[in-house]
Each structure stands twice: as C-alpha cells, then as structure tokens.
Copies of this chain bind each other. A is one copy, B any other.
Amino acid sequence: MPLYRIVSEPGALTPAQKAAIAEGVVELHLRLAGGARAFVNVLFETFAAGDLYVGGKPAPRMLMSASVRTGRTQETKAALLTGFSALVSRIAGVPEAELLISIGEVRPENAMEAGHILPQVGEEEAWLRKVGHHAAA
C-alpha cells in the first residue's frame, strides 16, 4: 500500500509519461501521507478503445483510484485527490474534466505486503524495521 491505478485506452500514455506519473505519485504520496518509497505501487491498465461509455456514449476518460489504509485525515485525502488529479492532467495533457478519481480505504489489518499484515497509520517505523526496510529508503 498504497496502490494507485490509472485505467485508460491503449496508447493514451507513453512509457515516458507513465514513468513520470509513477515518480510523481511516489513524491506526492510520501510528502502528503508519509511511508516508504518501496511500498508505493502505481499500476497502469487499459480497456479496449471505445469500451468506456459516459452518458451512453464512448468517451476516452481516464479512471483513477488510490487504495490507502484507513486512518488518514480528510485533509490528507483531499490533498491526495487534488494532487493526483493535477499530476496526471499535467503529465498526460488531459483536462481534469476527463478524469474520475476515487480513494478506497482498506483497514490495515485487512492487507498484507512483503509477507506481513500492514501497520496502523502512525505505526510504520516499527513495521518497516520488522520487514527490513527503512522509511528513508
């Protein structure tokens, strides 16, 4: 965790744009929500051209989501939404009007990474030591 997903038509993003978004998301998430670089996941997925309908008509929107642990403040989540939207809009050259973004919250005890159940928000340091990572990594 976190897991950020961006779903678009094939070819909507070049490899260089994907890499820039992935790096931008890492910086955004660490700055706003903390944690360690090695646990920020960004996945790009595609749907066949024409297979997203908006208001009954095909439309080339991008669908974005972020799965984060429960326990963030509403201010943090709003900043993540705003920052993620602006980042993808800027790098992909897509108006924010064509983006749909949602945050899904997962209780830390309902998720496992690197073979360990995730820590509560605020208890990352001890967990990172346990799995052999450092927050500065």
Contact = CB atoms under 8 A, between A and B. Distances in A.
A58 B1 CA distance: 16
Nearest to A84: B112
A87 interface: no
A104 B74 CA distance: 20
Contact of A55 (B26, B44, B55, B110): B26
A91 to B, nearest CB: 13
A52 B61 CA distance: 20
Contact of A46 (B37, B48, B52, B67): B48
Interface residues of A, number: 58
A50 B14 CA distance: 12
A14 to B, nearest CB: 12
Contacts of A26: 55-56
Contacts of A115: 85, 95-97, 99
Given A40-B54, A42-B54, 5 more contacts: A1-B102, A39-B54, A41-B53, A45-B51, A102-B106
Interface of A: 1, 3, 7, 15, 18-19, 22-23, 26, 37-48, 50-57, 61, 63, 67, 74, 77-78, 81-82, 85, 95-97, 99-106, 109-115, 117, 131
